[in-house]
Structure 1
Amino acid sequence: MVDFTNRRETEAWLSEKPRDVAIVLAARAALRVLPTLHRVIIPHERIQDIVLPTFRGMAVSWVASRFPAQSVGLRPYASAADDAASAAASAASVVAVAASTSTSAAYTAAAVASNASGEAAAFAAYSVSAALAAAADDRKASAEALSFDAATMEEGLTPTILAGRPLWPDRITSSSKAGWDALKRDLLSAGDDWDVWTDWYDDRLAGKRPWRRSLEIARATLPDDLWEQGPKAVNAEIKRLIAAEKAKTAANRRASRDGVQSIGDLEPLDIPSPVSFKWQDGVIALGGSALPVLGPRNDPRDLARKMQACREIAKDISAKIAKGRYNCRVEYREHLEGYLQWFPDGDDGNIYLADRSARALRELLVAEQDELPRPFVADVKGFLEQHIGIRPHFQELLEFFESVRTHALPEPLPQDAVDQARQAIAEATPEVFAPNVGQALDVESGPPSTVEQPSVAGESGISKIELPPDPIQTLDPEIEKSGAIARTLNALGKVLKQGPDYVKNMEAWEKVSTRLLPYLHTIIEWLRNMTGL
């Protein structure tokens, strides 16, 4: 892995990567050292000279990394932000070296976003170097965070998803937290609506999904003459944009409720679903699983071997349980059989439903490890290691988990609408829906709520077998379940609308569409509120 403390090595490594990799690493490196600015905001004038241009540079570079489709349109704004942050770095150097290098990291991160040529690697390497210099006591932790980011992308995570992740792999360092707390306190006490930036940075620290993409783009593309007026004018305009967007959202919801009269008026969201559907032989059936993707270093034969290993190990453990080789509950075999039922095989299967079975198996094992035979625990550990290893190859699965992690429930999922939708689907099976549609909607049974893994040594003193850590173990189970159900029904609504072109039994389709309409609309509006779309 590249040594990010070596600028030449960093530039050489980045020169072989897509431009998006340079943009996201530069942006994240700069964002991590923003707390060092707490040393320069006294006197008050420094806020306008240094802090605001630094936030501007970081906002533009972050938007370019999170929404790459906007990168071309952002270039003139990134160039202007680069110039402004460069001047701020010069001003900061008079006050504190760390603040100067932090601001330098911001302006070179903006330069990466504004540059369409091969110079992006050089600018990004400089931004990384400046950020590490600003990090001071946190230099080692910052370098490790960069290495973690690079490793996740090598394993297949896209730069776009990485841009939305928390800034630190584990948690913010104590010195950075103290610096940010001090900077945040001083900014808020200065007035001038600085909460539009302190809230923004808190969201970047936590990896929280932007409420509205349009707002992030609007923030990054404010005109030069407004920035020149200073924080009072800039922050007031950002606050106005936020209020206007909230009012527009509320108005759209009212209009949506009034305008839905038939299934053709239904407006499902264009977002990933853990389960897909398709028309097949005149009825709606479960769609094929998302195809796995290869990372830059992956061999397709290696991926095929990994997937085959998942199947064979699951089959082997299930067979041993069936033969009485292991003294364990029948639920372990049920989870393994569920995994095998849904595990992708060509166009069949569903990786999300298979993954749910694997996680349910792990949670059960964590809770009962003390009472289980060590050979059984070792076998299941090997299976879980194989399964967790193939997750990065299924981008839609990662995107769904990312959405779950970054969203909070605005309000509980309207369970009555869900129950009524399920009942209507069951009654229209098999005339309109294939039997596997109802099975896919049944996500109530797992995985159970998160269980903390016990300590490594049991009461007997015998060392326990350590289970592989699950990167998504901390997902809120209620948010996941609610999000999965809502997204699945949203996807079903999309396909249901196509009925006149594909359905065999038009009368049955019209009947179930009319019955489903109010429930699907309620669920889609809940999902719209949850995702901020």
Structure 2
Amino acid sequence: MQPREVQAVFAARCALRGLPAIRRANDRTVRRIALPLLRAILSSGVAGTCPTPEVIRSAASDAAASHVLYATDYDAAAISNVDGDPASVFLTPLWPGGAFPKKLAREYKKLRAFWQKDASVWDFWQKWYEDMLAGRPVDWDFLRQVLLLPDEDWKRGPAHVARLIEKLRAKRDLQGNIKDLEQDLTGTTSSRLGLGGNNPPEPLDRDSQLPAGLLIVWAPLQELKEEAEKQAPDPARLRKATDALILALAEIGKWCGRKLDRATDKAID
């Protein structure tokens, strides 16, 4: 018997193939069943790639709702070649050759039209399905966060879930930008001053504006980072730290400009 994670991946792939068949139902029925079905399929996929205890509990209750419409030897062969990483199976296109069977192709066209009719609600799910369809890499940690939204939120319907997913996405993007800026500042400091690490540098010359500028950058940056990592960040605190960071970066820019002017003057003397 295959490990639980591999079984979950297999179930998710089978269900993803059959998903377009829901368009055989009328719009009213699709609106009622689409979100629970998508959540169930996502549960299987995340359980196969991020098998934490909380994910396994969620999948155990939700994946049963996912009707596995049929399986293929295509996945069986791919899964048999998995070497400790079930997620790699998702990097294989959903259909051999990348093309839907004719009947399902018609249903998929109808499903896309349904999603696009209310794009603000279904955009996340359409993009996720298209990534699965093409075998493109996805952010499984972010998908885990989506899956672990509280049950009471899922029960409030697709529009509510879409708003929460957008908040999760904004938080992820903010954390990514903070990390990039932190790395840029650390790298700039290291190369310019011969220092490393995450601590603000000590002044190495008589230009006192350099350390002062760097210090006022690091303080709001760390405040912004700490607030963004909270379960429910305070928008007012985020805005305050962001505004302070923008001002600090402007000061650094002025310092760099003066340094460049002096370097230019020396070069043309």
Shorter-chain TM-score: what band? 0.5 to 0.7
Q: How much does 1:168 deviate?
A: 1.5
Counterparts in 2 of 1:491-502, with a 5 A limit? none
Counterparts in 2 of 1:265-276, with a 5 A limit? 265=197
Report if aligned partners of 1:80, 1:224 keep a CA contact under 8 Å in 2.
Answer: no
Equivalent position of 2:106 in the other structure? 178
Q: How much does 1:192 deviate?
A: 4.5
**39, 42, 48: which one aligns with 1:65:** 48
Please state whether the residue corresponding to 2:116 is helix, strand or coil: helix
Q: How much does 1:264 deviate?
A: 4.8
In 1, Cα distance between equivalents of 2:19 and 2:141: 24
Gaps of 5+ in 2: 199-269
Counterparts in 2 of 1:90-489, with a 5 A limit? 103-105=66-68, 131-132=69-70, 143=71, 146-157=72-83, 158-173=85-100, 174-210=102-138, 212-260=139-187, 261=190, 264-265=196-197
Please state whether the residue corresponding to 2:43 is helix, strand or coil: helix
The structure-2 alpha-carbon separation of the partners of 1:155 and 1:190, relative to structure 1 and needing over 3 Å to count, comes to closer
Equivalent position of 2:8 in the other structure? 23
Q: Deviations over 1:253-273 (max 9, x none)?
A: 11211123158549xxxxxxx
In 1, Cα distance between equivalents of 2:13 and 2:167: 27
Please state whether the residue corresponding to 1:208 is helix, strand or coil: coil
Letter in 2 for 1:160: A
Please state whether the residue corresponding to 2:121 is helix, strand or coil: coil
Report if aligned partners of 2:82, 2:88 keep a CA contact under 8 Å in 1.
Answer: no
Please state whether the residue corresponding to 1:60 is helix, strand or coil: helix
**48, 52, 56: which one aligns with 1:75:** 56
The total of aligned residue pairs comes to 191
Report if aligned partners of 1:59, 1:219 keep a CA contact under 8 Å in 2.
Answer: no
Q: How much does 1:41 deviate?
A: 4.5
Say which structure is richer in helix: 2
**4, 29, 33: which one aligns with 1:50:** 33
Equivalent position of 1:40 in the other structure? 25
Report if aligned partners of 2:122, 2:162 keep a CA contact under 8 Å in 1.
Answer: yes
In 1, Cα distance between equivalents of 2:21 and 2:144: 26
In 2, Cα distance between equivalents of 1:263 and 1:168: 52
The structure-2 alpha-carbon separation of the partners of 1:195 and 1:151, relative to structure 1 and needing over 3 Å to count, comes to same
Please state whether the residue corresponding to 1:170 is helix, strand or coil: helix
The structure-2 alpha-carbon separation of the partners of 1:244 and 1:185, relative to structure 1 and needing over 3 Å to count, comes to same
The structure-2 alpha-carbon separation of the partners of 1:240 and 1:152, relative to structure 1 and needing over 3 Å to count, comes to same
In 2, Cα distance between equivalents of 1:247 and 1:18: 36
Q: How much does 1:243 deviate?
A: 2.0
Gaps of 5+ in 1: 1-15, 86-102, 106-130, 133-142, 267-533
Letter in 1 for 2:164: E
Please state whether the residue corresponding to 1:193 is helix, strand or coil: helix
Q: How much does 1:50 deviate?
A: 0.5
Measured on the aligned residues, the alpha-carbon RMSD in Å equals 2.3
- Calculate the TM-score normalised by the size of structure 1: 0.34
Q: How much does 1:153 deviate?
A: 3.4
The structure-2 alpha-carbon separation of the partners of 1:231 and 1:18, relative to structure 1 and needing over 3 Å to count, comes to same
Equivalent position of 1:384 in the other structure? none
Q: Deviations over 1:350-389 (max 9, x none)?
A: xxxxxxxxxxxxxxxxxxxxxxxxxxxxxxxxxxxxxxxx
Report if aligned partners of 2:82, 2:89 keep a CA contact under 8 Å in 1.
Answer: no
Report if aligned partners of 1:20, 1:65 keep a CA contact under 8 Å in 2.
Answer: yes
Report if aligned partners of 2:41, 2:63 keep a CA contact under 8 Å in 1.
Answer: no
Q: How much does 1:236 deviate?
A: 1.2
- Calculate the TM-score normalised by the size of structure 2: 0.64
The structure-2 alpha-carbon separation of the partners of 1:253 and 1:41, relative to structure 1 and needing over 3 Å to count, comes to farther
Q: How much does 1:244 deviate?
A: 2.0
The structure-2 alpha-carbon separation of the partners of 1:74 and 1:155, relative to structure 1 and needing over 3 Å to count, comes to closer
The structure-2 alpha-carbon separation of the partners of 1:215 and 1:152, relative to structure 1 and needing over 3 Å to count, comes to closer
